[in-house]
Structure formats: C-alpha cells, structure tokens
Chain A
C-alpha cells in the first residue's frame, strides 16, 4: 500500500491524525488541568486554559502521606492515602501471583499431553468471560460466610487472581507455542528437570508475553470497582471505591476528585507509554487467536 502511495503526505490525513489524537487525549488533559485548579477557577466562566495552577487538590487527597503539614486542610481525611496503599498492595501481589501460576499452567497445557487437558483448556476458555457483576452475589456470600475473608486485602487478592488467571493462561499459551522446542530438549539433555527447563529456559524467552499479561492483569486489579466495593471494609478499600463513595449527587468537589482520578490513572498511563508495543501485541493476539 505504502509503496504505491507517493501522495501519502496529503495534509488531510495529517489533519485527521491530529484530530484523532486530540480527541483521545482531550478528556484526559481536561481532567489533568482541572486537578490543578481551585474551585473558583472551575466554577468561573473564564477560559478553561488560563488559570493559576495549584497542587492543593493533591495535597488534600494525600494529606496524611506528606512529610509536611498542609495548612489549607483543616481536618485531614486519611481515606484516600490508605486506599492508595491498599490498591498498590492488592494490584501488585495479585499480578505477581497470577503471572507465576498462570504461566506454569499455560506451559503445562502447551507442552504436555495428559488426561484432562482438553477439559482444562475448555474450562479456562469459558471462565474467561465471567464478568464481575456475575460474581458479585456468590463472592460476597462465600467470602463473608464461608471463607471469612471479607474486608481483607487477601480476599481481594484471591478474587482478582482468579478472575485474571483464565485470560493470562490463554494469552501466554500463544507465546509459549512459539518457543522452539529444541531449546527445551537441549536443556533436558543437559540434565535439567522440567521445572528448571521452565524457569531457566522458557520464562526468559517469553518476556514480551509476560509483560503484556502483567499489564492486562494489573489493569484489571487496579481499576476494578464492583467487587472491591462489596468486599472491602473501611480499612481495605481501594481507590476506585473511595472515588465512587466521594461522588455525591450535588456539590461535588471537582478539583479534589479529579486529582484522585488522576492519581488512579497515572500507573496505566505510564504503562501505555512504556510498553505500548507489548499492549498492542497482547490485544492483537487476543483477537486473531480468538
């Protein structure tokens, strides 16, 4: 296509490109700008672009985590700071768990022929589409009455790991298939046992796949609201839950809420810019190998 298109530099295409970039970044930029505004600036009719930026909203949200006293905050509300710590712990631990367990399972499904293999891979496929809304009632019931782990970080980690596992297993399969089996056979000849072969030979080769899987898993655990809301108590609330809780019908403190939203959005934004290639590979593998 490209070779046949010497007129590709048509300015209309660049205009379209710029418009699309503007449209997808615009709302995010607007949120960023609002998070640096005082409420008077948000409410005023003057232009949205000229204002005196302030980090007050961030100070209000993070007041108990700062090393200095914030004088404009009369009563410090530690909810958000605590939620940020919870979110970080829950998302990181469940991502690590999911990856380790998921790639072991994916390896077994790709490289071994054994009884029950088809059942396992069919089950993971079916479990892939179970949405949080469907899990809401049973997980609430079981976590509260049977496991007794409601209101703990462990409870959240367990359900997020389980929710992400089918997807991770399935996406890593497509990466493990591409590892030349001769490498594994060579390792086996040199006397490595299956676990050594897996951890020392296969894992280093599927790093891009692991990166993609890690990002998708982290994203789900970091962003999830519904189950977090049902399971967490005051001390184990995650950031999405606190944000929704602070949304009231009237009189929303837009500046502070946008600052918290921005803090929630920062890790995924960083991942996007650092690893966009892996993300796209992961997404494409998802559709092509449906």
Chain B
C-alpha cells in the first residue's frame, strides 16, 4: 500500500501542472499546426474551414509583405543583439570594481525590463514626438534640424532599435557582471604576475572564461528579440510602410485586420520553428559545456 502510494506521489504533484499545460498550451500549439493547413476566417468554426494543404506555406514564400517583415525581424534581432552585447559586456568590464553606488545602478537598471513593454513604447513615442518630444526640442534648442524619428522609414527602424537597446542592455550588463565576478581569481592573479596588461587580461583571460555565459545570454536575448511586439506596436504600429513591421506584429495584423487565421497560423508556425531551433541550440550547448566540465574535473582528479 505504502509502496503504491509512493509510486503515485510524483504524478499527484505533477497532475495540476500537466493538466493546465495540456489544456491551455500544448493543445493550442497543436491546434495552430492544424490550422495552418486551413483556409479559415474568424467567423467560422474550425470544422467549417476548408483544408488547403500546404497552400498557406507556399503563399508565404511568394508574399512580398511577409518576406519583408521576415527581413525586418532578422535585421532587428541581429542589430539589437550585437549592439546590446557590445555595450553590456563593455560596461560590465569597465564597471567591475568596488564603486559606491553600484547597487543603485543595478536596481535602477532592472526598471526598464520590469515595466510593461506598452509603457516603454509609450515613453519613447512621447520622447520621439515631432513637436512635444524632448529629443526634437533639445535638437531645436541647439539650433539643429528636427529628426523625423518615427515618420521616416530608415529613422523609424533606428528609433525602434534605440528603444530596445535602452530596455535590454541592462539585462546583458547584469548577467555579464555576475559572470565576471564569479571568475576564478587565481587565473587573473597568475596572468597579472606574468605581466599581462589590462587589455590582454580582458581578451585572453576574462572574455574566454566568460564565453559560456555570454553565449547563453546572447541566445536568450536573441529568442526574446524575436518575441518583441508591444514596444513596436505602440511606437510605430509597424510603419511607416513596412519598415518596422516585425513578424509578431505581422501575425497579429494578419489575424485581426486581414482576418486570415490559417495564414496567420502558418506564420506563427514558422516563428515557432525558428525559436525552437534557438532553444534547442541553447539546450545542447549547455549539455556540451556540462559534459566538458565533467570531463575536465575527472581528468583533474585522475591527475591527483
């Protein structure tokens, strides 16, 4: 009896979680995969929709607007992650010292990540405002020409990138600072005794030792960059033209404005596959690093 109860215990602990995940997450994802093969609009029940096979997918790759938005998404993710990694890691290397006020900086740095993306979009839209915004006012008071922050395609993309950099550089800063401070002191001491300069220390000791954390951080950030939606929705709603219409926004518009649920599902599916690949990459990278660490440890023990 007791043995029986014991064997059931883990399942009892798991049951509520599995129930909710099955009903509200796994079922919807499966539903979406099925819907991506249908010609379906919001006024129909799904059973009434016509099965169209792979048509939604083939249409996607000849749809200029979709390809444009895919390009915008990839460009956005690449630019944002690169800039944030360089800035975040750079600042962490620079500020890795005992300064009074570091705690304040770390606390304050979390703020942009914690407040609603909607609000972040709102703040930046206000600052970018052509007449009342602080940026153009400052430019004007310095006697410079105002910049069409959100109304010109090229500038709008830059503006959106700036807002994201403001919001997420702190994330990378905090993680790389934590990584830096947990590096083994002995390696640094040894290098310094051997006469390494500050730059050599950074490039040959610190960065290589931090690399595992940095790679995971970059991947996490990349995954998030593909999910960005609200900030851009509030700032530009994808415009002007399609210059800032990232994939998540395109999906939402296809579903609600163009009312083509099957087509939107096909796009969602592609986005999901993209994110899945990145997540798996992160997972296996972690596994490989664990295995390598275990092997090194085993070798070290053998040597003793």
Contact = CB atoms under 8 A, between A and B. Distances in A.
Interface of A: 1-2, 4-5, 8, 13-14, 16-18, 20-21, 23-25, 27-28, 30-31, 34, 42-43, 45, 48, 100-102, 104-105, 107-109, 112, 114, 117, 120, 123-142, 145, 158-159, 161-163, 165-166, 169, 194, 198, 219, 222-223, 225-226, 230, 240, 243-244, 247, 254, 257-258, 261, 264-265, 268-269, 271-273, 276, 279-280, 283-284, 286-290
B60 interface: no
A198 B252 contact: no
Contacts of A126: 276, 279
B82 interface: no
Given A24-B170, A131-B271, A268 B114 contact: yes
Given A129-B276, A136-B255, A138-B28, A31 B119 contact: yes
A135 B251 CA distance: 10
A27 B135 CA distance: 11
B65 interface: no
A169 B285 CA distance: 21
Given A126-B279, A223-B117, A102 B31 contact: no
A219 B106 contact: no
A265 B123 CA distance: 11
Nearest to B114: A268
Interface of B: 6-7, 9-11, 13-14, 16-18, 20-21, 23-29, 31-32, 35, 42, 45-46, 91, 94-99, 101-112, 114-119, 122-124, 126-127, 131-132, 134, 137, 166, 170-171, 174-175, 178-179, 188, 192, 213, 216-217, 219-220, 223, 226-227, 229-230, 233-234, 247-249, 251-252, 255-256, 261, 264-265, 268-269, 271-272, 275-276, 278-279, 282-283, 285-286
What is the interface of chain A mostly: helix, strand, loop, or mixed?
helix
Contact of B97 (A5, A42, A161, A269): A5
Contact of A17 (B18, B99, B255): B99
B119 A261 contact: yes
A276 B175 contact: no
Closest 5 CB pairs of A and B: A162-B24, A105-B17, A133-B248, A108-B13, A223-B116
A280 B174 contact: yes
